[in-house]
């Protein structure tokens, strides 16, 4: 009589361990410079990028709010600034240097990043060209799952963004001058944020500095172009794997279901051994 051997006990143990092993964070660097994987052609209000997997996406939009009390954020124009990185011009602002960079002179300017279904941690921010000073702030969305509505958010006071659902993750002084001159040297803010679910979000902000003056951090004299952003993906908005559509998770076995299958296989293997002994 034929005996069907499903899995050895050792194989079942290995399979079970695989089901319960922690996922590895998926790394992506979104490069906005010339010949980058997220480069701009001309000027645009919104930049959409895809790297590798069709669900590994980034949507970038620039916003600005004047320093006038009660002013709200409005969408501006992102621009291709060659090898010096991505530029930004607020409505009514000069398109020439240095106003075509992200700045906080007369208005607070920022880049809103949405990573689609993915929940990511921003691990690095690299600036290209800069002038005067380069103080950068990083914020993570911790509000409603539907995401932020920037045009409903009041101007650049820290309290208004925090009240709207944002968390100020940190700020960094990336001075771009050498002996008083502008520089194109790449300068990177390594955030040091652990790639864990609790630190992740689908929405992030990279902005010119807008907090209280403290040490080397001050607002009102920062100009920079953004060269790249590095991210570590830890999962999707439905709790599944990175670069997958949670709306289709029903077609893929959930980790809990797979674990039950593994336990069932253990039971089958044990039953086969008892029958063999009998």
Give the DSSP per-residue string, 158-200: HHHHHHTTEEEEEEEE----BTTB-B---EEEE------GGG-
The pLDDT tens digits for 175-234 are 755 555 556 578 899 999 999 999 999 999 999 887 777 777 766 678 899 999 999 999
pLDDT, tens digit, for every residue of 231-258? 999 999 999 999 999 987 544 444 454 4
| Domain boundaries, given as residue ranges, for the chain | 1-23+253-278, 24-241
In this prediction the pTM is 0.79
């Amino acid at each position: 009589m034929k005996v069907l051997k499903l899995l050895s006990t050792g194989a079942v143990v290995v399979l079970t361990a695989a089901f319960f092993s922690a996922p590895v964070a998926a790394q992506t660097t979104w490069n906005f410079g010339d010949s980058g994987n997220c480069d701009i052609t001309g000027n645009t209000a919104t930049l959409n990028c895809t790297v590798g997997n069709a669900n590994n996406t980034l949507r970038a939009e620039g916003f600005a709010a004047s320093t006038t009390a009660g002013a709200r954020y409005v969408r501006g124009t992102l621009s291709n600034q060659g090898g010096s990185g991505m530029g930004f011009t607020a409505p009514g602002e000069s398109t020439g240097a240095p106003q075509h960079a992200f700045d906080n002179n007369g208005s607070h300017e920022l880049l809103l990043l949405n990573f689609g279904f993915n929940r990511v941690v921003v691990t690095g921010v690299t600036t290209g060209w800069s002038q005067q000073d380069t103080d950068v702030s990083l914020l993570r969305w911790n509000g409603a799952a539907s995401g932020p509505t920037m045009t409903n958010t009041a101007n650049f006071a820290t309290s208004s963004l925090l009240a709207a659902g944002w968390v100020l993750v940190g700020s960094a002084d990336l001075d771009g001058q050498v002996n008083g001159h502008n520089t194109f040297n790449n300068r990177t803010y390594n955030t040091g944020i652990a790639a864990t679910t609790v630190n992740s979000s689908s929405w992030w902000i990279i902005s010119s500095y807008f907090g209280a003056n403290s040490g080397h951090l001050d607002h009102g004299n920062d100009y920079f172009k953004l060269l790249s952003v590095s991210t570590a993906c830890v999962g999707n908005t439905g709790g599944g794997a990175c670069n997958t559509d949670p709306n289709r998770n029903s077609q893929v076995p959930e980790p809990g279901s797979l674990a039950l299958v593994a336990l069932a296989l253990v039971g089958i293997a044990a039953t086969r051994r008892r029958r063999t002994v009998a």
